[in-house]
Amino acid sequence: MIVLLVALLYIGIMIHLANLEIIHQKKQPLLNAMQIGFVILLIMWLMNALVFILIPPDQVNDPTLATQIGRVDSSTALFFVAIAMLGIGTILYMTRSDDPYYWLARIISRKAPSPVPTYNPDSSIHRLAVILMIFQGIAILWTLTSSGGLEGLDLSYTSSLQALGDLASGGLVYITVTLMGIGWMVRRDTRQVIQRLNLRLPTLKDWIWGIGVALLLYVMLLIATTIWTLVVPAEVIEQQTVASSQLFEAFNSSLILGFLLAVITGVSEEILFRGALQPVFGIILTSLFFTILHVQYALTPATLILFIVSLGFSWARQRASTTAAIIAHTIYNFIPFLLFTLATNTGVA
């Protein structure tokens, strides 16, 4: 929790400085210096990954470190080293040159469907968002690498209350970063924030799009999962879904807990991704980032499924509103808990 608060404070200061740059049209030297902090952290992770590759576990005196080194796959660590080096070079280049931001603007405007995203390569907030997304993507990869892959990724909880608290804190981080990023009480008042995020009280159109997209995506999930189980051995599927299964098990003891999970993730994630990011970066980049952040799926067939699901939520947002995307996401997340409860009560499970 302390690490999370420190990280949120660090990012919050950078976001505030970026907002001040926009307001006063004046560079904030501290912002650029703090971005270099990401590079320093990446270098530290890079050095740790090299330790995993170069030092055998039996040559380490610390039992805890030896165990960690033993469970890390060398090829995965080597892949992380390559990505980390690329990330370090990219972030350093982006702190010294405008070219990457203008290159990204051309890519977004060329590939994005109407309406054209509002990404501005001269905006300090948009520039910071790009760097944060790059860093967060590498951070996710480091989590998988250092934990030894999905098998070592522990998403189990001692109690449902602990799981709910962890989920709520993550959702709070998403909403806090969103509000700070769009300049609430700095560049925009509350009414302007609601308009910027395309939020509103649910209308009939929102309900139709939200429910329709959720059901369509869940049917797609069932079809894709059926195909997956037919072509992939059961033990492989179990390994690939162990982390997501742990998360489901933490909330399936109560339909209310499952509903709370659905609401918290639906509201917080859609406000960030579909409300804040999609209008700026477009559907494809937003969905790609959404997929990367769901660490429990790693590089499995579920990753492609999740990307398609994200495109569905983006579609609901584009055709209706962020509120419709929230409804779709919430219902989509809640359906498994509802079906599990019904199956349990009827004796099917």
> Domain residue spans in the chain?
1-148, 198-349
Mean pLDDT of the chain: 88
What's the whole-model pTM score? Answer: 0.91
Q: What CA–CA distance (Å, rounded) separates 83 from 295?
A: 16
Residue 91 has pLDDT above 90, yes or no: yes
Under DSSP, the state recorded for 202 is: P
The model's pLDDT over 231-271, given as tens digits with 9 standing for 90+, comes to 777 666 666 566 666 667 767 778 888 899 999 999 999 99
Q: Tell me, what DSSP letter sits at residue 251? A: T
Give the pLDDT confidence of 119-163 residue by residue, as tens digits: 999 999 999 999 999 999 999 899 888 887 666 665 556 677 787
List the beta bridge partners of residue 188.
Answer: 184
Q: 294-310: per-residue pLDDT in tens? A: 865 556 677 888 999 99
When pLDDT is cut at 50, 70 and 90, the band that residue 3 belongs to is confident
**What tokens appear for 129 in the block?**
């968002």
Residue 57 pLDDT: 83
What are the percentages of helix, strand and coil residues in the chain, rounded to 5? 80, 0, 20
Banded pLDDT at 64 (limits 50, 70, 90): confident
Q: What is the pLDDT of residue 73?
A: 83
